[in-house]
Chains A and B, each alone.
Chain A
Amino acid sequence: MEGGAAALTILVVALGAFLILKGVGDVLNPPRSTAPSRVPFSGGLSPDTHAWNRYHVRYYPMALLFLAFDMEMVFMYPWAVVFVEEGLIALIEMLMFITILLFGILYTWREGAFRWS
Chain B
Amino acid sequence: MVVRSILARLAKKAPVPVFLISGIGGDEITDRLRLDDRLHVTDSPRPAMILMIAGRLTSDLKYAALQVHDQMAEPRAVVRWSPAERDPAAEVFPHFVAVDAVAAAAAATLAAAAVNTRDDLLAGSFPSSPPLLPDVEPNPWRGVGPWGQGGTGMTGGVPYGRPLPERAKDRDGLQLDQLLMRVGPFLPALPEGLILEVRLQGDVIQDVTVGANPFVEEAVPDSEEEELPAFPGPADLAPFLASLRVPVAVAELELARARHHLRWLGHALRVHGLAALGRRVLALSARVHSQGAGSSNALGSAEVVELRRSLERNFTLAWATRGIGRLSGDQLAALDGGPVARAAGIERDERCADPAYLALGFKPVVYAGGDALARWRLRLHEAEQSLRLAETAGNSMTTVTGTAEGPTGPLGRGPGPSSRLLPLLPELLTGLEWGDAVTTLLSLDLDLREAALTPPGSGVAPAWAW
Contacts of B74 in A (CB 8 A): 29, 32
Q: Establish whether residues A50 and B164, one from each chain, have CB atoms under 8 Å apart when the complex forms.
A: yes
For the complex, count residues of A whose C-beta is within 8 A of B: 28
B46: Cβ under 8 A from any A Cβ: yes
Contacts of A34 in B (CB 8 A): 70, 131, 133, 135
A37 CA / B76 CA spacing, docked (Å): 13
If A41-B46, A56-B170, A56-B176 touch, whether A50 touches B195 (CB-CB below 8 Å) is no
Contacts of A32 in B (CB 8 A): 74, 131
A4: Cβ under 8 A from any B Cβ: no
Contacts of B163 in A (CB 8 A): 48-50
* Nearest-CB residue, chain B, relative to A58: B202
* Nearest-CB residue, chain B, relative to A24: B3
Contacts of B202 in A (CB 8 A): 55-56, 58
* Nearest-CB residue, chain A, relative to B154: A52
Stretch at the interface among B86-94, B179-187, B221-229, B407-415: B179-187
Most B CB atoms within 10 A — which of A28, A38, A53?
A: A53
A45 CA / B166 CA spacing, docked (Å): 20
A59 CA / B162 CA spacing, docked (Å): 29
A35 CA / B71 CA spacing, docked (Å): 10
Q: Establish whether residues A37 and B70, one from each chain, have CB atoms under 8 Å apart when the complex forms.
A: yes
Q: Establish whether residues A39 and B71, one from each chain, have CB atoms under 8 Å apart when the complex forms.
A: yes
B37: Cβ under 8 A from any A Cβ: no
Q: Establish whether residues A37 and B201, one from each chain, have CB atoms under 8 Å apart when the complex forms.
A: no
Q: Establish whether residues A44 and B64, one from each chain, have CB atoms under 8 Å apart when the complex forms.
A: yes
Contacts of A46 in B (CB 8 A): 67, 138, 182
Q: Establish whether residues B133 and A47, one from each chain, have CB atoms under 8 Å apart when the complex forms.
A: no
Q: Establish whether residues A49 and B131, one from each chain, have CB atoms under 8 Å apart when the complex forms.
A: no
A35 CA / B136 CA spacing, docked (Å): 6
Contacts of A36 in B (CB 8 A): 66-67, 70-71, 131, 133, 135
A110: Cβ under 8 A from any B Cβ: no
For this complex, 30 residue pairs linking A to B, each with C-beta atoms less than 8 Å apart, are A28-B3, A29-B75, A34-B133, A34-B135, A36-B133, A37-B131, A38-B160, A41-B71, A42-B181, A42-B187, A43-B183, A44-B63, A44-B67, A46-B182, A48-B138, A49-B162, A50-B163, A50-B164, A52-B159, A53-B177, A53-B179, A54-B176, A54-B177, A55-B176, A55-B179, A56-B172, A56-B202, A58-B202, A117-B204, A117-B433
Q: Nearest 3 A-B pairs (CB), nearest first? A: A44-B64, A43-B187, A53-B177
Identify the B interface with A (CB < 8 A).
3-4, 7, 44-46, 63-68, 70-71, 74-75, 131, 133-139, 154, 158-166, 170, 172, 174, 176-187, 190, 195, 201-202, 204, 433, 466
